[in-house]
A and B are shown apart, each in its own frame.
Chain A
Amino acid sequence: DIVLTQSPATLSLSPGERATLSCRASQSLGNSLAWYQHKPGQAPRLLIYRASSRAAGIPARFSGSGSGTDFTLTISSLEPEDFAVYYCQQRNNWPLFGGGTKVEIK
């Protein structure tokens, strides 16, 4: 099975700062990776699909990059509503999730 490892587990930043989240796969995924934002009491929200394509309605400050085994989600300038948990998910036959990165207010 392909395992997704997200780092760091927690990212403490201030509004306006840049956030860089990593997702590493144990085997190559090509570009079959998605990123989700999850807030307490809400459904997860799709941000990025196919590693770098923004989902409909997602602000341009969110960007995804990478392919193969190393992927990155970047939030260029954190807004107050961006503090949440972020998950990567492989979008192949086994759509397992990474363990998540919590972006918290410093």
Chain B
Amino acid sequence: QVHLHESGPGLVKPSETLSLTCSVSGDSVSGYYLNWIRQPPGKGLEWIGYIYNSGSTNYNPSLKSRVTISVDPSKNQFSLKLNSVTAADTAVYYCEIAGYWGQGTLVTVSS
């Protein structure tokens, strides 16, 4: 069974960078599409982007200019960075691999 766990600050100031890490157990991150997804309060799911094969990335066009996803196979983790955040980036952030999801972590953007 694959388990994923998101970690990172729950509060980020406007204009700063949101940074989250997804720690994976039960399988290797290698060879999978490693996704980040978010859900703003009261809204639906929004795909942020993925990394594949430790280097190929693909991002939601609406976020592409602000997003970076990276992977550390040695730690079996992958990470999300979203810069220049605003209140609109307040959301529960999930990591996902092959249908397995973390429990999500709420990130609030506020001064």
Contact A99 B60 (CB under 8 A): no
Known contacts A38-B45, A97-B44, A100-B44; is-contact A43 B102 (Cβ 8 Å) = yes
- B28 → chain A closest CB, angstroms: 19
| B94: nearest chain-A partner, CB-CB | A43
Contact B35 A95 (CB under 8 A): yes
Known contacts A43-B104, A44-B94, A96-B60; is-contact A49 B47 (Cβ 8 Å) = no
**Looking at chain B, what size class is its interface with the partner chain?**
10 to 19
Taken residue by residue from 41 to 56, chain A's Cβ proximity to chain B (1 for < 8 Å, 0 otherwise) reads as 0111110010000010
With an 8 Å Cβ cutoff, the count of chain A residues facing the other chain is 22
Q: How many angstroms between the C-alpha atoms of A38 and B103 in the bound complex?
A: 12
Taken residue by residue from 30 to 60, chain B's Cβ proximity to chain A (1 for < 8 Å, 0 otherwise) reads as 0001010100000011110010000000101
Contact B103 A46 (CB under 8 A): no
- B89 → chain A closest CB, angstroms: 17
Chain A residue contacts of B102, Cβ below 8 A = 43
- A7 → chain B closest CB, angstroms: 14
Interface centre among A36, A85, A95, A100, by most chain B C-beta atoms within 10 angstroms, is A95
Q: How many angstroms between the C-alpha atoms of A86 and B44 in the bound complex?
A: 10
Chain A residue contacts of B60, Cβ below 8 A = 94, 96
Q: How many angstroms between the C-alpha atoms of A9 and B33 in the bound complex?
A: 29
Known contacts A34-B99, A43-B94; is-contact A97 B104 (Cβ 8 Å) = no
21 A-B pairs in the complex with CB atoms less than 8 angstroms apart: A36-B45, A43-B94, A43-B101, A43-B102, A43-B103, A44-B45, A44-B94, A44-B101, A45-B101, A46-B100, A87-B44, A87-B45, A89-B45, A89-B47, A95-B33, A96-B47, A96-B60, A97-B44, A97-B45, A97-B47, A98-B44
A-B contact sample (15 more), CB < 8 A, given A43-B104, A89-B47, A96-B47: A1-B61, A34-B99, A36-B45, A43-B101, A44-B45, A44-B101, A45-B101, A85-B44, A87-B45, A94-B60, A95-B33, A97-B47, A98-B44, A99-B44, A100-B45
Q: Lowest 5 CB-CB distances: which A-B pairs, in order?
A: A46-B99, A43-B101, A97-B45, A100-B44, A95-B47
